[in-house]
Structure 1
């Protein structure tokens, strides 16, 4: 392929990548509408109405605690390495969550922005990026362990559908384990250094003369080495434990909603529903907030325990209430941070 053809294809590729989250949103909305249209809307409304104000308050409180635990897990990664206080990580963790669940971006869009916002507290950009990479690895790794727990419990459920879902999940987790190992190896080897060098070199080709040039010294690999260093194992273990606790606590949302609706389930069932639901949602990370996917996943998993589709859809809607209640203030905090940052930035130098 000629250089001219390649140059024409690049803008097209970038345009497609930019539109992927929007396309994912449309697909998710379509799936959600289909699920509601093919089920008894009156049953969904009746189950949703049984939850009540106290039920929604309980679910929102649990979600707030989960996000706080994730913020603490992020803070432990950089404890002793950055000047940012713990409160900064807690605030930005809510912002990351709000962006991921309320804006038409892939489920990692808020995490990328979180790294940038962390620099507002004096953290070097390379270190902020390294902390996000490590935090995402630990978060996904603990989700895989949680999904493995759910699959293990699911093998004890009678029925071919439960056995098939458990076996499919375990096979998918085996592949996910290989991908996570590769992601970890990428952070712990010099591959990131070489990739960064290529990005910096590419940046020099397109930067304007009037703009500040990229830092010629790649630093992300050095920051990753600092984060994953031998002396950091205690901090990383604490972060891992906090993420694992956050995933487990998510089962409390399921228990609260189903108890309010009047569905009698045990701890094992609640853990399976939450673990499988989160695993299915994670697979469709390109669809913002798992629109439609979360609903379909809960209908599938709840059906294994005899819970009707109307109740499962009401459960999914109830789990989205904290997305809005906590997400909207988080977006306002983000805009306030950006506005304050813009207000203290010096203007262009006079000519």
Structure 2
């Protein structure tokens, strides 16, 4: 966590130094954001809600429909809050998953099912991001050539893919057993009730991973959500006067998200996201000011959606919950 924070500080300091060295850069960035206007920024916020629907459905379908599963609307609320925690609070970019699991548990889903579905959803999201980034890398090599920067991006992509693959493999090898106690300690700190026995988290994960049809549905929903992110970038760039093609927006979003994934330990990827956009946008002749304005528009969208989400989280926490500590063993289930 300290190294991640240091990385974010270094990148952010480099960007600040660049803006100080380039007189008027800050004002040009702010002018670009103002060019988008309130109507444009509102359109960006509303469009992200569409992404939220597909991300929430990708999470929802992972739970066995035979068990007590909250509605899609509640999953949308949980996903909304989960993103707000990851984007706005000083935690690494997976803190929201614990909050999401708690919300499901308070809604009546069994404890280990809630935790396992949050971890499995994160895994599916990582795997589909790799596929999305590979598409973006292929589009980059076709449209921007095979220069040194493109090769650097490819190296970072493979680093992110290796981290994601290790995360998935570790779950199959039993890492879930090692984190059970830590998860439950965190759970007790944020209000989960004790069940009298450790939840069989690894078994619950294997049950989810064994449901191939549900996994495919989850992956499809997350892929659609990633692709919609490219449309959001295309719209934002159009609003600030950059006439780019959808294919270019796909490259910028997919590789920008890959940079963000590499810096997952940095709270809100502060500095890492901006640096990634500067590098990728530069491949298409877009100025650093345009890249930072794009990142700033995304940050404004995160704030506009995130602050109400954090308030909604506190309101939900103040209401009586319907927690279930455990559910019957699934051993032998198909």
Q: TM-score range by the shorter chain?
A: 0.7 to 0.9
Instruction: State which of 20, 27, 38 in structure 2 corresponds to 1:42.
Output: 27
Instruction: State which of 183, 205, 209 in structure 2 corresponds to 1:228.
Output: 209
- Counterpart-to-counterpart distance in 1, 2:197 and 2:236: 53
CA positional deviation for 1:139: 0.5
Rate the CA distance shift 1:177–1:20 in 2: closer, same or farther, 3 A.
closer
Instruction: State which of 20, 39, 42 in structure 2 corresponds to 1:54.
Output: 39
Instruction: State which of 71, 77, 84 in structure 1 corresponds to 2:70.
Output: 84
The answer on 1:312 being equivalent to 2:291 is yes
- Counterpart-to-counterpart distance in 2, 1:147 and 1:64: 22
CA positional deviation for 1:279: 0.7
- Counterpart-to-counterpart distance in 2, 1:324 and 1:112: 20
- Counterpart-to-counterpart distance in 2, 1:154 and 1:263: 18
- Counterpart-to-counterpart distance in 2, 1:269 and 1:25: 26
Larger radius of gyration: 1
- Counterpart-to-counterpart distance in 1, 2:105 and 2:40: 38
- Give the alignment's Cα RMSD to 1 decimal: 2.8
Structure 2 alignment gaps of length 5 or more: 324-334
Q: How does 1:1-351 map to 2 (within 5 A)?
A: 30=13, 33-39=16-22, 40-80=25-65, 81-158=67-144, 163-189=147-173, 191-192=174-175, 194-195=177-178, 199=181, 215-229=196-210, 232-341=211-320
- Counterpart-to-counterpart distance in 2, 1:134 and 1:46: 42
Rate the CA distance shift 1:277–1:35 in 2: closer, same or farther, 3 A.
farther
- Counterpart-to-counterpart distance in 1, 2:241 and 2:72: 40
Contact 1:35 1:296 in 2 (8 A): no
CA positional deviation for 1:214: 6.7
Contact 1:116 1:128 in 2 (8 A): yes
CA positional deviation for 1:35: 4.7
User: TM-score, structure 1 length as denominator?
Assistant: 0.80
- Counterpart-to-counterpart distance in 2, 1:227 and 1:335: 30
Q: Which moved more, 1:25-34 or 1:138-147?
A: 25-34
CA positional deviation for 1:27: 5.5
User: TM-score, structure 2 length as denominator?
Assistant: 0.84
SS at match of 2:142: coil
Rate the CA distance shift 1:158–1:335 in 2: closer, same or farther, 3 A.
closer
CA positional deviation for 1:187: 3.0
CA positional deviation for 1:194: 4.5
